[in-house]
Amino acid sequence: MFLERFLAHDADRPALRDTDGRWLSYGELRRRGEQVAASLHNQGIRPGDIVAIHLENGMDLIDAHLGCMALGAVRLPLNAHYREAELAPIVSDAAPALVYTATPERFAGLRCSPVQAEPGLAQPQLWPAHTLTALLYTSGTTGRPKGVPQTFAMWESNLDALAAVWALSDADCLWLALPLFHTHGLVLGLHGTFLRGSRAILAERFEPIVPEAGITHLYGVPTWYRRWLPLMQAHPAAFQALSLMVSGSDGLDAATSDAVYAATGHRILERYGMTETVMICSNPGAGERRAGTVGQPLPGVEVRITDGEIQVRGRSVFSGYRGAPPGHGFTADGWFQTGDSGMWEPATTADPRSAPYLKIIGRTKELIIVGGVNVSPAEVESIYADIPGIREVGACGVADADLSEVVGLAVVTTPDANAAEVRAAIAERGARLSGLKRPRWVIFVASLPRNALGKLQRGALRPLFTPSHSPEAPS
């Protein structure tokens, strides 16, 4: 059981280095959790209540998580970069009883029914296991985020599978700069560390640093490795000394994988996951790591490809979106539909007996992945569609050498539109979106590509953003 294993780690064992450089032991983390739990309880929060955590990496965020874990409250990690318009649908759907945030103004217009303290209640019972431990929202392709209930059981089986495949141990030390409001950082990074009793060095945000001695593991997104490359070439020894570099959340290009290998002798380990499933496939810790593939299904996870789509079932797969009809997102025979397309790559001569490796070749869902962060084109469009002078807009992913993709926005104006006013309004509306969702490219076009049924063809928008096309300004 996840909590029992977390509670069993030696109290003196170092667990986490805070962003100010101070090490905290497992005993200290547990004490802090208990203190926060008592304070949450005094504020009227009870096991099973939803508590939103809208914070960047740091001890305030860690304390909030530990407090909820100790009390048995359900954590609602919110992207700390999200603005009011992005938070609104999540807050209205999840209705958290309490919000931890450093920017309360972003919640000013949102109704989050605050709880009433009930004085004189007994001390809470601590570390009770509850069915739900967290609720993570994922960018719905319709533009409305969907709540993905998370259980310790999902996490534990998946993290144990990863530990086996990656040969992880309690001696590992992870450099943890991944934002702790996504599956990657929260589940693999933070809870993976908590489960095994290993160590993590917390960083506020990613910056390409030379790993200090003692760090053994890096988990990151492809953008990070591209930004790290010059440093790896300049200081290869510091990277050679690592045990493992893992990439996920987005496809890693072969050029980066090969350049990292040439500089450090490490083949980056690629793995594939989703908020709904935790990790699905991975290349092995020991054994053949095949660049451009995401390896094989993890123990406890089954993968099939039907009509080109990757479908998954297993212990770590969630049971359904919050508030959605049963079976939504699953096939009739119970497989979760990832919306990613893939193919099996057969065994190679290096290991002819090995099972095939999964290669992700595209997405059937309409999603833009910017620096490992999912962006729904429909959500972006909804921000700009009602600007006076705009008839319609379409958003799509545009290839980017740093972030893999950035958002492109194609705009059709009305005949009487004032170009300067439209441009100014587009720039002003950008403030309603967190930075990675904001369109990097805006082009003006005469019409949007639609199919016979009138449905916007976002794939056909992409070629309009090629450098050879000079954007038309509205007249």
Residue 387 and residue 425 in contact, taking contact as beta carbons nearer than 8 Å: yes
Site for ligand MLC, rule CB under 6 A: 79, 81, 178-179, 182-185, 205-206, 221, 223, 248-249, 273-275, 371-373, 434-436
Q: Which residues pair with 373 in a beta bridge?
A: 370
User: In the complex, what is the shortest distance from the CB of residue 455 to ligand MLC, in angstroms, rounded to a whole number?
Assistant: 26
Q: How many CB atoms lie within 10 A of CB 160?
A: 21
**Whose Cβ is closer to ligand AMP: residue 152's or residue 272's?**
272
Q: Which does 360 bind (CB under 5 to 8 A by kind): ligand AMP, ligand MLC, none?
A: ligand AMP
Q: Which does 61 bind (CB under 5 to 8 A by kind): ligand AMP, ligand MLC, none?
A: none
d(Cα 152, Cα 295) in Å, to the nearest integer? Answer: 25
Is residue 196 within a helix (H) or strand (E), and if so which, with residue range? helix 192-196
Q: Which residues pair with 245 in a beta bridge?
A: 218
User: In the complex, what is the shortest distance from the CB of residue 357 to ligand AMP, in angstroms, rounded to a whole number?
Assistant: 12
**Whose Cβ is closer to ligand AMP: residue 124's or residue 220's?**
220
Site for ligand AMP, rule CB under 6 A: 138, 183, 248-251, 270, 272-275, 294, 338, 340, 360, 363, 369, 374
Residue 330, both tokens: 């699953």
Give the strand pairing for 199-202 and 14-17: parallel
Instruction: Give the 3-state secondary structure of residue 168.
Output: coil
Q: Which does 206 bind (CB under 5 to 8 A by kind): ligand MLC, ligand AMP, none?
A: ligand MLC
Question: Hey, CA dihedral for 299, 302, 308, 309, is it positive or negative?
Answer: negative
Q: Which does 145 bind (CB under 5 to 8 A by kind): ligand AMP, ligand MLC, none?
A: none
User: In the complex, what is the shortest distance from the CB of residue 273 to ligand AMP, in angstroms, rounded to a whole number?
Assistant: 5
Which residue number has the CB closest to ligand MLC?
Answer: 435
Q: Which residues pair with 142 in a beta bridge?
A: none
User: In the complex, what is the shortest distance from the CB of residue 342 to ligand MLC, in angstroms, rounded to a whole number?
Assistant: 14
User: In the complex, what is the shortest distance from the CB of residue 180 to ligand AMP, in angstroms, rounded to a whole number?
Assistant: 14
Q: Which residues pair with 394 in a beta bridge?
A: 410
**Whose Cβ is closer to ligand MLC: residue 274's or residue 417's?**
274
User: In the complex, what is the shortest distance from the CB of residue 425 to ligand AMP, in angstroms, rounded to a whole number?
Assistant: 30
**Whose Cβ is closer to ligand MLC: residue 45's or residue 218's?**
218
Q: Which does 294 bind (CB under 5 to 8 A by kind): ligand MLC, ligand AMP, none?
A: ligand AMP
Q: Which does 338 bind (CB under 5 to 8 A by kind): ligand MLC, ligand AMP, none?
A: ligand AMP
Instruction: Give the 3-state secondary structure of residue 153.
Output: helix
d(Cα 312, Cα 190) in Å, to the nearest integer? Answer: 24
**Whose Cβ is closer to ligand AMP: residue 270's or residue 381's?**
270
Sheet containing strand 404-413, strands side by side: 390-400, 404-413, 441-444
**Whose Cβ is closer to ligand AMP: residue 185's or residue 273's?**
273
User: In the complex, what is the shortest distance from the CB of residue 295 to ligand AMP, in angstroms, rounded to a whole number?
Assistant: 9
Q: Which amino acid is at 341?
A: S
CA–centroid distance for 66 within its chain: 20
Q: Which does 461 bind (CB under 5 to 8 A by kind): ligand MLC, ligand AMP, none?
A: none
d(Cα 79, Cα 105) in Å, to the nearest integer? Answer: 15
Please classify residue 469 by burial: count the beta carbons closer than 10 Å to its beta carbon, then call 0-12 exposed, 13-18 middle and 19+ buried.
Answer: exposed
User: In the complex, what is the shortest distance from the CB of residue 161 to ligand AMP, in angstroms, rounded to a whole number?
Assistant: 16
67: phi then psi, degrees, rounded to nearest 5? -60, -45
Q: Which does 371 bind (CB under 5 to 8 A by kind): ligand AMP, ligand MLC, none?
A: ligand MLC
DSSP code, position 186: I
